[in-house]
Amino acid sequence: MKNYKIGLLRGDGIGPEIVDSAVKVLKAVGEKYQIDFTFTPYLIGGAAIDACGEPLPKETVEGCLASDSVLLGAVGGPKWDTLPGNFRPEKALLGIRAAMGLFTNLRPAKLYPALKGACPLREDIVKDGFDIMIVRELTGGIYFGERGYRQGKYGEEAFDTEAYSRMEIERIARVAFETARKRRKKLTSIDKANVLETSRLWRKIVHEIAAEYPDVEVSDMLVDNAAMQLVRNPSQFDVIVTSNMFGDILSDEASQITGSIGMLASASLSDNKRGLYEPIHGSAPDIAGQNKANPIATILSAAMMLLYAFDEAAAAEAIVNAVDKVLEVGYRTADLTRENALSTTEITDKIIEAL
């Protein structure tokens, strides 16, 4: 029997509840497909600050690097909001991404037919649904550039710097083209080339790499237009590739138009495919510990792990189909319905039954 070592980063708020749900589903699918998992929990975020005074302890980084893959819940909460930047739970996210070399973030944004009612866009706009994969660069750009405070002409001033190297753009562009090749073969590269030098280099390199993928149709779009097109006509997009900050913003917009942030998974990948899988939402402190959270985003993140990290396509598809089935029957958590909402554990059990 195959065995995969999975590092679990439960984190804070609803993190522990949703990760436990995904673990239950992985165990169930493992039984069906003869896959064995060894789960090892590590501390991260506020929980790590409380236990050992820092958001990303050395043992956590070492444990994640030694795992075959990592499943993360979410970090952060009001308890730690007043700590200085470097000691905040969210700092651990940037730290673990950098330590694991996770330069690619894959974020699917799909409108589930059963959840069309939850989509805030007009019916005629989403009548054909949409299924977008956002490929976001994750370890470069302005979030990792030089930053600081200084005295400027008008007194106190702060600055952040955006830099992208050829290597960083080439490797994310290749991931995007490969991803498009496995889907509808349409890639939109999003930048701000009318203003930013980094975007002009980005565009030039994406066009160069395009020559290696003649089967993929590629086009450029300015980020301001992209923000508009996502709500005007989301079905025009298949795969989107963009920089760290633009991807951060556009993927949240894309998630919002699907109707629920509690549904969307993500994968962060490195060269060797070892990855970190997590829901796109945060730690939802307002509902933490109440067995109310929607675990589907985390369960679908586990499905992405099976597919991308372990090449277990059948097991991954089984999870996705089970989620589809449960939604079609009409089961919902409180974020998706006002009436007869199921709890975190109840909907998890329904998904396991559907498997």
Q: How far is the CB of 250 from ligand NAD (least distance, A)?
A: 15
- How far, CA to CA in Å, does 15 sit from each of 97, 189, 315? 18, 33, 23
Nearer to ligand NAD, 168 or 335 (CB): 335
Quick check: is 224 catalytic?
yes
φ/ψ (deg, to 5) at 192: -135, 55
Number of alpha helices (DSSP H) and beta strands (DSSP E) in the chain: 11, 12
Which of 16, 63, 141, 282 binds ligand NAD (CB under 6 A)? It is 282
Q: Residue 13 in contact with residue 282, Cβ under 8 Å? A: yes
Residues between 235 and 254 with contacts to ligand NAD, criterion CB under 6 A: none
Q: How far is the CB of 295 from ligand NAD (least distance, A)?
A: 7
- Return d(Cα 311, Cα 313) in angstroms, integer: 6
Nearer to ligand NAD, 30 or 259 (CB): 259
Collect all residues with Cβ–Cβ distance below 8 Å to 234 and sequence separation of at least 6. Answer: 111, 121, 125, 126, 130, 132, 254, 257
Quick check: is 271 catalytic?
no
Q: Which of 160, 224, 271, 311 is catalytic?
A: 224
Q: Which of 252, 324, 325, 349 is catalytic?
A: 252
Written as six digits, the tokens of 242 are 């963009």
Q: Which of 24, 91, 110, 192 is catalytic?
A: 192
**Count of residues touching ligand NAD (by CB under 6 A):** 21
Quick check: is 27 catalytic?
no
Q: Residue 245 in contact with residue 226, Cβ under 8 Å? A: no
Binding mask 289-328 for ligand NAD (x = CB under 6 A): ----xx--x-------------------------------
Quick check: is 192 catalytic?
yes
Q: How far is CA 29 from the centre of its chain?
A: 22
Q: Of all helices (H) and strands (E), which one includes residue 124?
A: none
Q: Which region among 108-116, 188-196, 269-277, 284-292 touches ligand NAD (by CB under 6 A)?
A: 284-292
Nearer to ligand NAD, 129 or 285 (CB): 285
Nearer to ligand NAD, 20 or 220 (CB): 20
Q: Residue 161 in contact with residue 170, Cβ under 8 Å? A: no
Q: Which region among 19-27, 154-162, 243-251, 279-287 touches ligand NAD (by CB under 6 A)?
A: 279-287
Q: Which region among 108-116, 170-178, 269-277, 286-294 touches ligand NAD (by CB under 6 A)?
A: 286-294
Which of 137, 191, 312, 335 binds ligand NAD (CB under 6 A)? It is 335
Burial 99-123 (b: 16+ CB within 10 A, else e): ebbbbbbbbbbbbbebbeebbebee
- How far, CA to CA in Å, does 299 sit from each of 39, 80, 234? 15, 27, 25
- Return d(Cα 116, Cα 126) in angstroms, integer: 8
Quick check: is 24 catalytic?
no
Nearer to ligand NAD, 10 or 192 (CB): 10
262 contributes a contact to ligand NAD by CB under 6 A: yes
Residues between 61 and 120 with contacts to ligand NAD, criterion CB under 6 A: 74-77, 90, 93
- Return d(Cα 278, Cα 275) in angstroms, integer: 10
Q: Which residue has the tokens 């990290």?
A: 309
Residues lying near ligand NAD in the complex (CB under 6 A) are found at: 14, 74-77, 90, 93, 261-262, 278, 281-287, 293-294, 297, 335
Catalytic residue numbers?
A: 143, 192, 224, 248, 252
